[in-house]
Amino acid sequence: MPREYSGKAVSYDGENLVINVGHIEIDWQKLLRYNKGDAPKVELVFDDQQRRSLLQNKHMHAIISDIANWQGEDPEEIKMWFKWAFANAFELDEIKTSRMSMEQASAFISMLITFALKHGVALVNYAPLEMLAPDDVAAFEYQCLIHKRCVICGKHPSDLHHLDTVGANGGNRGQMNHLRLRAVQLCREHHQMAGQIGVDTFLARYHLTGIKIDEDIAKIHKLNMRSL
């Protein structure tokens, strides 16, 4: 099965290109056996900033590693399954992560994150709030609300935490219309932290903005959507 790695070109003499791939485990002897003793051929794709970025590639492999650890499977098998699912969802004949556009890579990472949140995968190698691009954090916040996972640590169960004060929006939480009020999903520990240090400080610390409650979120959390 093909293996994909990323690295940094460090030298080139007109014929030989030296790539630093960092601290990764490559079973060189197995590769030689697969290629009948010959050095394996590789496909070289330079990052032109139009295809998925090297950072996106790092993020893909981190979350795939977490999913593989959760399932007890080979990361490459997990990667192949998600590539098939992604190609099927977007009606593509096939997809190579090395040839994804940056937009496709973002959608692929979003699919991986959604799967992890839905099934309670422990994100150890992948830390969404540290690794996601700012524009993608909101999508992660939304999925945490949908799947009731703490946006900070992923704990379940957790609670929807209102960012907009109830008093300013009708007073009675059970009777007020929750639509378009901002919220984040927090476990009890992080809910208490937000109360102790203040909402603005808490949001700034974790680079959160909050999500405006829509009908899907309201239905999942059984929130009122009409003014009484």
> CA angle at residue 116 from 108 to 131, to 5 degrees?
60
Chain segment 157-178, per-residue pLDDT in tens: 899 999 987 655 455 566 688 9
Q: What is the pLDDT of residues 77-130, one digit of tens each?
A: 999 999 999 999 888 877 888 778 888 888 899 899 999 999 999 888 888 988
pLDDT score, position 49: 53
SS3 readout for 19-83 = EECCCCCCCHHHHHHHCCCCCCCCCCCCCCCCECCHHHHHHHHHHHHHHHHHHCCCHHHHHHHHH
The Cα 141–Cα 152 span in angstroms is 9
State pTM to two decimals. Answer: 0.68
Domain ranges of the chain: 8-126, 146-220
Query: Could you tell me which residue, 93 or 49, shows the higher pLDDT?
Result: 93
Strand partners, 101: 51
Mean pLDDT of 139-158: 93
174 vs 131, which has greater pLDDT?
131
For 166-222, the pLDDT digits (tens) are 655 455 566 688 999 999 999 999 999 999 999 899 999 998 999 999 999 999 999
pLDDT at 19 over 90: no
- Topology of the domain covering 8-126: NinB fold (1.10.3790)
